[in-house]
Amino acid sequence: MLTHRDLNHKVSQLEIITTKQQLKLEASNGYYKVQQNKTLLAIAKQTVDDFRAHLTHVQQMYDSGVVPWYDVLQTKVRLANSENDLVKTQNNYDLAIYSLNKTMGLPLHSEIMLTEPLIYQEYVLDSNDVTAYGLAHRPEIVQQQDNIKIEETKIKIAQSEKHPKVILSGTMAWDNDDFAGTANRNWTTMLVTQLNLFDSGKTNAKVKQAQSGELAAQKQAQQTHDNILLEINDAYLSMKEAEKRISTNATAIEEASTNFDIAQKAYTAGVGTNLDVMDAELALNQAKTNYTNALFDYNMSKARLNKSIGKE
């Protein structure tokens, strides 16, 4: 059975594990944030390139007298807006790099190599599985149970002061006419029982205080249990919601890409408008952005779920 000191040491070790898991979550968040902004930056660059190519096409059509000057101006405005968005996206990416470096304890401007792309990978555990796993492996639950045991030992220590104390003592003496003689040795042994009958209720007060500590520890353990259940369910539901968005936005990208291609051909053929092309380009940009954000939310929710169930 673990002693009071052993339990305190175990609780400290569990606290270290909890801290490490939180740091791992923060590092994962930073990593996925960099991946998200890296992809968004690529989308923003592609949008700028598309609008520049479209502007060149519109300018050529205007020079040929096919389209009005308004189409050229309209395209230039959209290009300027996309370039403005690109600057903001680049800034967000740089800040994400700095934040990840800070989390990892590196200089802010350090260059890092991203090896794991932002992808979808199905989570194999269902709701019941993650709940059962979390209640069995989350270090805070074990820590709270050990805190209860610590308070129980305090009660036993306090109650022990009510018990009588038995003291066994012995003495030895010499009786001899010569100095330092050892001819005649006498042994005296005493068994003494001490019982404090007049402690003015101090022992009872200590016992009640220890019992109050145990009750508080039990309440804290229940609260921790409920908070962990809520954390697990929140992360799991967020992950499943993002999973559905991934599927929906993947389809949206295909449809938006087809629509953009049709709008370009229709405009070139003179049966579509310039606004149709630019709106189709922005719709494609939005579909790609939504898909990227859904991937980020999914991976982050999965990381939160793994942390919430204590999974390494």
Sign of CA dihedral 201, 202, 203, 207: positive
Which one is predicted more confidently, 139 or 155?
139
Span 211-238, average pLDDT = 84
Q: How confident is the model at residue 2 (pLDDT cuts 50, 70, 90)?
A: low
Which one is predicted more confidently, 223 or 74?
74
Q: pLDDT (tens digit, 9 = 90+) per residue, 5-28? A: 776 776 677 777 777 877 888 888
Q: Domain 4-161+204-308: which topology?
A: Outer membrane efflux proteins (OEP) (1.20.1600)
Q: pLDDT (tens digit, 9 = 90+) per residue, 179-193? A: 555 555 566 666 555
Residue 143 confidence (pLDDT):
74
Residues of the chain with pLDDT > 90, as a percent, come to 51
The residue ranges of every structural domain in the chain are 4-161+204-308
| Rounded Cα gap, residues 173 and 220, in angstroms | 59
pLDDT at 233 over 90: yes
| Rounded Cα gap, residues 101 and 187, in angstroms | 76
Residue 175 confidence (pLDDT):
58
Q: pLDDT (tens digit, 9 = 90+) per residue, 252-297? A: 999 999 999 999 999 999 999 999 999 999 999 999 999 999 999 9
User: Is-contact 251 288, C-beta < 8 A?
Assistant: no
Q: How confident is the model at residue 58 (pLDDT cuts 50, 70, 90)?
A: very high
| Rounded Cα gap, residues 152 and 7, in angstroms | 11
**pTM (global) more than 0.85:** no
Q: pLDDT (tens digit, 9 = 90+) per residue, 158-210? A: 666 665 555 655 565 555 555 555 555 566 666 555 555 555 466 677 767 76
Contacts of residue 43, Cβ cutoff 8 Å, sequence gap at least 6: 89, 285, 288, 289, 292
